[in-house]
């Protein structure tokens, strides 16, 4: 280490390697050490290779795939960053039927998917009865598959019913762990308290629980990100979704700058070091920002990709952000191309449910 980098880490650890070691073993880095790592790209290569080493020690070269089915773009919420927010009158709304969802899964199963992620806005018509009916039918027809739901905030009783019908994983990003920042991203009808309540209910019920946030969200500072990491350390999520904020022309944040590839990759690496066993996707948002993003995400410690398995007719309509990728390697039907790219990067897509290690 040069004396320059020794000086950089002023709090406790005295070299990049020891900071990385501390991230890996004790997670006792101070806030200012985390801030230091977050705020420079100087140590990225070391972070990425340490994260890759950790990921390989837990998951080897295996990359899990999830078939993402976007079941509805109706949403009662009005998040300022999201393209399917209630106020977007230009959005062409759709909702898939139970049969349509089922045929997506049939197609996905044949392609080699063993996890189906049913994601949607908070749609009042997606009742427990509907979701549990679909989940039970999928669970029955594909007993060797995992069903993941990502349908926003719901009462604990609803989550319990979903678990009883066979769903075993749930994705719900906390978005930001800072109350004031949360209020800048969401209308006052939404609260971080409720988000936290939902996440702890999901954990309590026994779901493999997915958390996450956007990098480079409007008004986000490095201090917020440190809070996000602390929040995650308390929650201990099984899955962690990190993707760059990307503006959408119809939202109040239409003119805000997008998040960056470099901060997103750095965070993936940091989170891999802190959570060795987590399932971390290289997200669609990352691939949208930069086509190589998907593979760079894997090289920085991610071990999951989630190609789009929605009917082609609706893919364009689930536009959370501008130009959201849904063709090419983001498409489940182009899995061969993705397999090839992943192989060239030194990893291997597997036909596997892909539970979190040790779950
Ligand atoms: N840019 C990037 N990610 C977004 N999401 C919603 N809107 C955007 C955007 N404009 C993310 C949120 C949400 C997930 C489903 O998609 O973090 O939790």
pLDDT band at 5 (very low <50, low <70, confident <90, very high): very low
Cα 132 to ligand 1 centroid, rounded to whole Å: 25
Among 72, 80, 82, residue to substitute to test ligand 1 (most atoms within 8 Å of Cβ): 82
pLDDT on residue 265: 98
Convert the pLDDT of each residue in 72-127 to its tens digit: 999 999 999 999 999 999 999 999 999 999 999 999 999 999 999 999 999 999 99
Whole-angstrom distance, CA of residue 42 vs CA of residue 87: 42
Residues in contact with ligand 1 (CB, 6 Å cut-off): 81-82, 173, 175, 214, 243, 245-246, 248, 285, 320-321
Task: With a cut of 50, say whether residue 230 has pLDDT above it.
Answer: yes
Cα 340 to ligand 1 centroid, rounded to whole Å: 28
The string of DSSP codes covering 240-289 is EEEEE----TTSTTTTSPPP-HHHHHHHHHHHHHH-TT-B-BB-HHHHHH
Region of residue 354 (phi > 0: left; psi between -120 and 50: alpha; otherwise: beta): left
Question: Secondary structure of 61-124 in the HEC alphabet?
Answer: CEEEECEEEEEECCCCCCCCCCCCCCCCCCCCCCECCHHHHHHHHHHHHHHCCCEEEEEECCCC
pTM above 0.85, yes or no: yes
Whole-angstrom distance, CA of residue 214 vs CA of residue 17: 27
Question: Does 75 show up as a binding residue in the annotation?
Answer: yes
Residues 6+ apart with CB under 8 A from 201: 156, 159
Convert the pLDDT of each residue in 278-291 to its tens digit: 999 999 999 999 99
pLDDT band at 18 (very low <50, low <70, confident <90, very high): confident
Q: In degrees to the nearest 10, what's the CA dihedral of 84, 89, 92, 96? A: 60
Convert the pLDDT of each residue in 312-327 to its tens digit: 999 999 999 999 999 9
Domains and CATH numbers, the chain: 4-350 (3.20.20.70)
Instruction: Give the distance between the most distant pair of CA atoms in the chain.
Output: 63
The CA R_g of the chain, rounded to the nearest whole Å, is 20
Span 217-224, average pLDDT: 97
Cβ neighbours of 264 (radius 10 Å)? 28
Span 165-177, average pLDDT: 98
Convert the pLDDT of each residue in 232-288 to its tens digit: 999 999 999 999 999 999 999 999 999 999 999 999 999 999 999 999 999 999 999
pLDDT band at 20 (very low <50, low <70, confident <90, very high): confident
Convert the pLDDT of each residue in 297-307 to its tens digit: 999 999 999 99
Question: Does 175 show up as a binding residue in the annotation?
Answer: yes
In this structure, the residue with its CA closest to atom 3 of ligand 1 is 245
In this structure, the residue with its CA closest to atom 16 of ligand 1 is 320
Cβ distance 66 to 148 under 8 Å?
yes
Cα dist. 13→1, 42, 83, 222 in Å?
12, 17, 43, 20
pLDDT averaged over every residue in the chain: 94
pLDDT on residue 26: 58
Atom of ligand 1 nearest to the CA of 258: 1
């Amino acid at each position: 280490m040069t004396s320059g980098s020794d000086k950089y880490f002023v709090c406790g650890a005295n070299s990049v390697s020891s900071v990385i070691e501390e991230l890996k073993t004790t997670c006792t880095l101070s806030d200012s050490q985390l801030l230091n790592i977050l705020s420079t790209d100087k140590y990225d290569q070391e972070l990425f290779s340490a994260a890759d080493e950790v990921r390989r020690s837990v998951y080897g070269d295996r990359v899990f795939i999830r078939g993402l089915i976007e079941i509805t773009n109706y949403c009662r919420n009005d998040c300022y960053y999201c393209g399917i927010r209630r106020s977007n009158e230009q959005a062409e709304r759709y909702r898939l039927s139970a049969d349509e969802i089922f045929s997506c899964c049939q197609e996905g199963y044949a392609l080699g998917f063993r996890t189906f992620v049913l994601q949607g806005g908070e749609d009042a018509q997606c009742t427990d009865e509907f979701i549990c009916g679909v989940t039970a039918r999928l669970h029955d027809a594909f007993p060797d598959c995992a069903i993941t739901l990502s349908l926003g905030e719901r009462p604990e009783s609803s989550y319990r019913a979903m678990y009883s019908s066979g769903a075993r994983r749930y994705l719900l990003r906390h978005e930001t762990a800072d109350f004031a920042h949360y209020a800048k991203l969401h209308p006052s009808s939404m609260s971080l308290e409720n988000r936290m309540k939902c996440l702890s209910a999901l954990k309590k019920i026994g779901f493999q629980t997915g958390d996450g946030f956007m990098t480079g969200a409007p008004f986000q500072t490095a201090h917020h990100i440190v809070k996000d990491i602390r929040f995650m350390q308390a929650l201990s999520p099984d899955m962690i979704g990190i993707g760059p904020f990307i503006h959408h022309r119809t939202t109040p944040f239409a003119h805000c700058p997008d998040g960056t590839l470099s901060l997103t990759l750095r965070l993936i690496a940091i989170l891999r070091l802190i959570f060795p066993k987590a399932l971390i996707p290289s997200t669609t948002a990352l691939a949208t920002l930069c086509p190589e993003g998907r593979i760079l995400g894997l090289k920085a410690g991610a071990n999951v990709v989630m190609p789009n398995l929605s009917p082609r007719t609706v893919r364009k309509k689930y536009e959370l952000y501008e130009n959201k990728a849904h063709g090419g390697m983001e498409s489940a039907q182009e899995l061969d191309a993705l397999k090839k790219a992943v192989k060239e990067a030194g990893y291997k897509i597997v036909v596997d449910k892909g539970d979190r290690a040790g779950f």
